[in-house]
Amino acid sequence: MISSLVHQIVSGMLLALHYTSDISHSYSSVIHIIQDVCYGWYFHYVHSVGASVVLLVVYLHLLRSLYIGSFVYNANLWLSGLCIMIFLMFISFVGYVLVWGSMSYWGGTVITNLLSLVPCLIECICGGFTVSNPTLKRFFLIHMLVALLVLVLIVIHVYYLHGQSSTCPIGYTTNNLCLSLVKLILVKDFYGYHLMLFMFTIHMFLGVCNVCHCDNHIEVNSLVTPFHIIPEWYFLSLYTMLKVFPHKLLGICLFCFVVIFHCCFVEVITVCCIFRLFCMIVCFD
């Protein structure tokens, strides 16, 4: 996961040298990067496809943590990982709007309209009543600053993992600092990095699956709405929760409930484990 984030940061810094955060030139600057800049097409697709790769790795990492129960032994490790996932999804959203394609614009409009429940909030964040030029400039700045914040959170996450240890797949709590860092950790990460790079390269040049909607290759026209507003695949579950209820407030309440449930998952599991242990002791007596 760290290697994929490094790819995103390096490619994003190179793209930022040629990108213009203005609604009149943002889409044309993206086309300029792809067509005119030397190897600009490569860094553009590395950055766009790499966003899906990062979140895919994060989802798999989260499922693995749920399977081995790493949240039971070290709750701070689980909470720091959840913060990284939330910030990564926020970064991917604001970066998706920067492309200034048709699907990006209307997707950003739908999500920012959720802020209208709080008076004056959408004007403070977007700089107006709709997604406009100040919104694009602010999203571009936020996209870069929050990426640096994620690096700090990753350092904290690695400290809780290797400094205070976690639950291993076989069910024991072991201090990873006692293990050989070179033989058991770096070699394994090196192998996983090359495997991910191989699959990433195949997708880059062969296009195994299309991770971007075709309407996003059309420049923004505020008078023409796409037939279906479809977000990226990693936002489909959250977007579906917002569409379950026709009322905006109920959809946001469901979304907030899911987020709070994920954050409180450690406490819930801990209480359940304590209750189960108490029942076992009572039954044994």
The domains located in the chain, with CATH, are 2-239 (1.20.810.10)
**Residue 26 — very low, low, confident or very high, per pLDDT cuts 50/70/90?**
very high
More confident position, 176 or 5: 5
- pTM for this structure? 0.82
Q: Is 166 a catalytic residue?
A: yes
Segment 127-171, tens digit of pLDDT: 888 888 999 999 999 999 999 899 889 888 888 877 666 666 555
Cα–chain center distance at 269: 25
Average pLDDT over residues 232-239: 81
- CA dist list (Å): 95 to 48, 71, 99, 217, 229: 9, 30, 7, 15, 17
Q: How far is CA 28 from CA 15, 25, 117, in A?
A: 13, 5, 34
Mean pLDDT over 177-198 rounds to 67
Q: What is the pLDDT of residue 60?
A: 84
Q: State yes or no: pLDDT of 34 exceeds 80.
A: yes
pLDDT of residue 190: 75
Active-site position among 188, 194, 243, 248:
188
Q: Which long-range contacts (CB under 8 A, 24 or more apart) does 183-189 make?
A: 189/2, 189/3
Give dist(CA 115, CA 11) in Å, integer.
31
Average pLDDT over residues 64-81: 77
Active site residue 188: yes
Which carries the bigger pLDDT value, residue 40 or residue 2?
40
For residue 162, indicate whether it is catalytic.
yes
Output the pLDDT for position 167. Answer: 61
In this predicted structure, the answer to whether residue 172 has a pLDDT above a threshold of 60 is no
Which single residue is written with the structure tokens 């309407």? 215
Report the length, in residues, of the chain.
Answer: 285
For the ranges 23-32, 68-77, 86-95, 173-182, which has the lowest average pLDDT? Answer: 173-182
Single out the catalytic residue among 162, 203, 217, 262. Answer: 162
Triad 58, 61, 62: Cα angle to 5°: 85
Catalytic residue among 29, 70, 80, 232: 232
How far apart CA 155 and CA 81 sit, in angstroms, is 11
Catalytic residue among 48, 104, 166, 213: 166
pLDDT for residue 110 is more than 50: yes
Whole-angstrom distance, CA of residue 179 vs CA of residue 157:
18
Q: Hey, which of 6-20, 171-185, 246-260 has the most confident mean pLDDT?
A: 6-20
**Which residues does residue 173 pair with via DSSP β-bridges, in sequence order?**
167
What integer best gives the mean pLDDT of the chain? 78
- The catalytic position among 189, 194, 243, 248 is 189
Residues 150, 94: Cα–Cα separation, whole Å: 15
Percent of residues, the chain, with pLDDT higher than 90 = 19
> Is-catalytic flag, 232?
yes
pLDDT at 24 over 60: yes
Select the highest-mean-pLDDT range: 134-138, 176-180, 206-210, 278-282.
Answer: 134-138
Is 282's pLDDT higher than 60? Answer: no
CA distance 132 to 141: 15
What mean pLDDT comes out for the span 239-255? 70
